[in-house]
A and B are shown apart, each in its own frame.
Chain A
Amino acid sequence: MKLLKDNKGQIRIIEAFFASILILSSVALIPSQPPVEKTNESVLNFKAQDVLATLDRNGFLSKLIENTSWTALKKCVESSLSPAIWFNLTVFNENMQPVNDIPISNGSPISEKITATEYVCASAGTNYRIYIIRLQLASVT
């Protein structure tokens, strides 16, 4: 008899429990704001690092620099990036003196927001050299 009396509100409680789960789960479905750090600038910086690190496998990048193959280097960077991205690459020696005597770029900047990434490239040849590569990128968006 006492048990029956205690069970009086159970269905209501369960109903309320499910209702609250339903309400709160609908809140969880609202799309959250994109993280602050995932800006266009950081995306371009990661892209620049990725392109240079990929070209640097097996000492390929330093070989292009040591052979002053600037046109080949331009083509490599160009083919690694989307046509909607502007780039300008400058190669410096350890004393930050420019090494490339011709511009390595695909034209004029398409946006005022230009990001620059510096990448350290070590040569794999017997005559050890270190180059600092500055890759500037800009995209339409």
Chain B
Amino acid sequence: MKRKSVNRRTSGQALIITSLVIAMLLLSTVYYVFEIQRNVSKSETTADSTLKTVKPSTVNTIVSALANFTNGGEREVLASDLSRLSSTTENHFYGGQCHLQFTPLNLSPYQDGIWISWENNGLGISSADVNFVFNFSGPTATYYSEFETNVTTMLTLEGTYSSNGAEKNVNVTCTVYNENEPALANDIAMLYQNETDGPWIKADSTNSLNMIDYGNGTYLVSFKITMQSFLQVSANVHDLRDIFVLTNTTCIGV
């Protein structure tokens, strides 16, 4: 009778131990998932911080090369400057070994990473585009990142003129953009041509040249000239980054 009672008391022990093991398994799985998520977010923070230190230099290098090229420099300056940046970054990078590879975009209309479109349609574009691959290997993190850097200065131009006897009042609206956002210009030179294939003449104070800066990348330039029936104007602009862009347009009589 006594033996039977002992057996009865121990009858659920195996099941209790099993349930304990299952509970432990469940909790350890939850803890493992939590730890993995924490490591991923920590690694992403490190990657963001590291990329944050590399990206400004890549942008500045492309701006410098584009400014150089649009002001009469060589196209090869972009690859040359990027090579210098890549080797300096690799030699002086904090916290591990890094490798910065670059590929200037060679997809039409870009050639060797640069696209210049200074046309007669009232739209001027000076642009550079480079793809980067950044590899980092440190004591606590290793990662790989690809990013694209595009630097574009765009200019739009619209012109009208009204007659006042032999004299014409010309109004030209220029808008400057950096990376598709309105941007300020450093200087704007306005030229006009009052006969087909004739010489370009710079508008100045003798033409009562006046410029209104709206402060949002839009400039209204007005001047007076004596002309026949044809008038083409050209805006030559340097933005605040010293990137040059120009475009021409035919003025419409109003």
Contact = CB atoms under 8 A, between A and B. Distances in A.
A25 B2 CA distance: 39
B67 interface: yes
B53 A52 contact: yes
B61 A128 contact: yes
B27 A25 contact: yes
B68 interface: yes
A13 B12 contact: yes
Given A20-B23, A130-B88, A125 B67 contact: yes
Given A28-B27, A50-B49, A59-B241, A16 B92 contact: no
A-B interface, 10 closest residue pairs, ranked by CB to CB distance from nearest = A9-B12, A56-B56, A124-B60, A20-B23, A122-B57, A16-B16, A124-B63, A122-B60, A17-B19, A20-B20
A130 B49 contact: no
A128 B68 contact: yes
A64 to B, nearest CB: 13
Interface string A108-141: 0000000001111111111110101000000000
A130 B22 CA distance: 60
Contact of B12 (A12, A62, A118, A120): A12
A1 to B, nearest CB: 17
B57 A56 contact: yes
Given A118-B92, A122-B85, A16 B20 contact: yes
A56 B27 contact: no
A21 B57 contact: no
Given A21-B23, A94-B88, A132-B88, A126 B95 contact: no
Contacts of B22: 17
A72 interface: no
B19 A125 contact: no
Contact of B85 (A17, A28, A130): A130
Contacts of A2: none
Nearest to A35: B42
Contacts of B12: 8-9, 12-13
Contacts of B61: 122, 124, 128
Interface in A48-82: 49-50, 52-53, 56-57, 59, 62
A94 to B, nearest CB: 6
Interface string B59-87: 11101110110010100010001001100
A24 B94 contact: no
A92 B71 CA distance: 28
Contacts of A127: 64
A120 B92 contact: yes
Contacts of A132: 88, 92
A101 interface: no
Contacts of B120: none
Interface string B183-222: 0000000000000000000000000000000000000000
